[in-house]
Amino acid sequence: MTENPLAHRLDYTLDELDDSALSASPLVLLRRWLEDAADLPEPNAMVVSTVDAEARPTSRTVLLRGIDDDGALWFFTNRDSRKGRALAANPSVSVLFPWYALQRQVIVLGSATPLPAERDDAYFASRPRGSQLSAWASHQSEPVASRTALEEQMAAVSSRFGDDRPVPRPPHWGGFRVEPREIEFWQGRPSRLHDRIVFSRSDAAGEWAAVRRQP
């Protein structure tokens, strides 16, 4: 009989996330866990889930590009894309850091608002030139006739800006700032008796309150 790969079960072995975490700052803890994940491929990859105007959920992976002093998470995208249109209709968002190799995950629930133009400009200017050009070439989330057609769009943009001309930020490209209202830290434990510590606050200026949830 062939073994069913879906039947494989991993027994988690991490030390406990003890009750002292309840009095910790969730932002300090998040930064610490990000540092712990530094040796993983794409440690700042996060799954962003949105709900569009028709209440249809979608998820995709983006890269965390910053955490400000208020604990808000930054990412950048084409604002005309599917996620950009969804966030324009409904700013509620769920962000998941899936660090499987560390037997950890973090879920952030909050609201996303556009970053100011000066921050968009500064980050765009720091991107590799190829990434800058593709931001102009790709009409993100829209259909394209073929891979060849996509590459022709890129070639046209490359010709437009040449080899040396600075590439300005497209007006449709920019960042979002996710203001967290809840942050859950999950850590695997033996016998599926996992640790879940959840921090929440009622508004951006509020104090964090923490509870332990059953797995």
**Interval 79-93: pLDDT, tens:** 999 999 999 999 999
Amino acid at 72: A
Tell me the CA distances in angstroms from 127 to 3, 76, 121, 134, one per residue in order. 46, 11, 10, 11
Catalytic residue among 192, 201, 212, 213: 192
**SS3 at position 154:** helix
Which residues have CB under 8 Å from 10's CB, separation 6+? Answer: 188
Is residue 3, in this structure, part of any structural domain at all? Answer: no
pLDDT at 20: 78
Q: Return d(Cα 147, Cα 37) in angstroms, integer.
A: 34
Is residue 135, in this structure, part of any structural domain at all? Answer: no
pLDDT at 39: 95
Residue 192 annotated among the catalytic residues of the structure: yes
**SS3 at position 169:** coil
Question: Within the chain, which residues score under 50 in pLDDT?
Answer: 1, 5-6, 8
8 A C-beta contact, residue 77 and residue 139: no
Is residue 116, in this structure, part of any structural domain at all? Answer: yes
Domain count, the chain: 1
pLDDT at 17: 78
Question: Structure pTM?
Answer: 0.87
Is residue 151, in this structure, part of any structural domain at all? Answer: no
**SS3 at position 181:** strand
pLDDT at 22: 77
Q: Return d(Cα 93, Cα 90) in angstroms, integer.
A: 8
Is residue 81, in this structure, part of any structural domain at all? Answer: yes
pLDDT at 8: 47
Is residue 138, in this structure, part of any structural domain at all? Answer: no
8 A C-beta contact, residue 185 and residue 172: no
Q: Return d(Cα 207, Cα 26) in angstroms, integer.
A: 11
Domain residues for the domain of 27 are 10-125+171-212
pLDDT at 1: 47
How many CB atoms lie under 10 A from the CB of residue 74?
18
Is residue 18, in this structure, part of any structural domain at all? Answer: yes
pLDDT at 102: 93
pLDDT at 190: 84
Is residue 177, in this structure, part of any structural domain at all? Answer: yes
Q: What is the CATH number of the domain that holds 59?
A: 2.30.110.10
196 bridge partner residues: 186
Q: Is 113 exposed, middle or buried (0-12, 13-18, 19+ CB in 10 A)?
A: middle
Could you report the per-residue pLDDT of 182-207, keeping only the tens digit for each?
Answer: 999 999 988 888 999 999 998 777 88
Torsion on CA atoms 131, 135, 136, 141, rounded to nearest 10 = 140
Q: Return d(Cα 74, Cα 41) in angstroms, integer.
A: 19
